[in-house]
Structure 1
Amino acid sequence: MDDPGRTAVTPSLHHVVTGPSDAPPLLLGPSLGTSTVVWDPQLASLSRHFRVIRFDLPGHGGSPTHLLPGAAAGATTVDDLATLVLRLAGDLSLSRFHYAGISLGGAIGAHLALTAPERVATLALVCSSAHFGGPGPWWERAALVRDGGTGPLLAATPGRWFASDRGPATDRQARLLDGLATCDPEGYAACCDALASYDVRARLREITTPTLVIGGTQDLATPLDHAEELAAGIPHATLTTVRTGHLADEQPRAVATALLTHLSARPASLDLPTPDI
């Protein structure tokens, strides 16, 4: 039976489940500062063949910050976020699942593939990285948000999130920016702390999960060389480039097609169907 969109809240991460209840589960992780909304453009295509589970990071969308074991400055790691995702999977009785994530959501997926490879059937890293730069800028951003909320970030964020040659923000892009404005400062800052300490460059060759890397040719936050590093380091990873900015917002069909191609190439995993793309 098709589930048009069921919403759940704590004790798990806030999440929305869409698609056939008996279809293979596909978890979709969001980028820093966004919510389940970031995956809206791909939802129709993906949910025809998968039980799509979109979740919110702590302090984002419907997920409260207090889900974290501690949100003090510097305390949160990607491991903490991945643990929450595994708790969600457990609450949904998912012993194994497919995973795709944008940016920080991708980092969570890579961490899961390293620490719980038996749980992750396939992995897709969208506009993500093995290392998001030195910790200093992330600590500075976290301190700024803890002091004054996410409002000070709003002016510069469109240039980081969206392709540089776009005109005025679309309605969807405005909705994404509204989501950033309503993030809980402590939760957002905690996720910045997680990015500050994240570095799996030396461990990429340990990832054995079949992996797709999608890089945005106009991504200024994680430029294409980040995607190339992921694809070169992860054994047998596939690299697809899309003419898009950091949230992969400008070419949703191309992103969905790449994901479906990646997933349909492994029909034995979780008894996958072969989707019509």
Structure 2
Amino acid sequence: MSRLKQCLVKEFEIKDLGQLRYFLGMEIARSKKGIVVSQRKYTLDLLKETGMSGCKPADTPIEANVKLEEVKGGVHVDAGRYQRLVGKLIYLSHTRPDIAFAVSMVSQFMHSPCEEHFEAVFRILHYLKATPGKGLFCGKNQQRGIEVYTDADWAGSITDRRSTFGYCTFIWEAEFRSMAQGECEVLWLKRVLEELKQPFSLPMRLYCDNKSAISIAHNPVLHDRTKHVEIDRHFIKEKLDKGIICTPFVPTVKQLADVFTKSLMRQPFELQVSKLGMIDIFAPT
């Protein structure tokens, strides 16, 4: 870090402000156990701006099993206001993966939002009212492995039958296509760690709760029904053969990426969010 700062000083006029505490709405708290990144002030300001500071809290950011769609003949709302609000929620989701799926749902209707879509946005605000201080906890540990959880809600959109893919990665701590997406992420992380000269262990674990997808990744024989994923299969198989990744099965109840691909009931939602490493350091003890 010292050498980097010296190089930057030669090229730019910079000032060392010490340890990062607040930047672009993100708050950073440090302790001996690790670092927490949250956007509590940003969230509270958003609730105040929208007049939702006194709203009733909600347990989840989206009702279970709800799938939004374009409403023909529905009552349209102010598109500009909708877009500004959803845009702020998109920025908030950088440190709030618990709202990522709900935000991705409402962002699909930016061009022509209706009352139903606005109600879904306000549901997210109700949830934020209950959890304004939640943030990502990056804990210290001695492990040097990389793990990825991948999931897919195949053809889940009732509007255009497109699929929703989701993955989450842990550094030191349609199913098949989502595996390929997750593998791209893990290979990028591998390259970053190599450039930073940080040691890590191989193979990197790519968890999936679909045994068929795992079987296709290992099986060199392609069937007619899997031709559309042939490119992904070769991509994954190559890394498997080189020992860069492995693909252990994970039960659906332990699939952390579920929270990114579907709306869940309160209990499984809270369980998955806690395992993502989200905590609220502002909550009363």
TM-score when normalising by structure 1: 0.22
Larger radius of gyration: 2
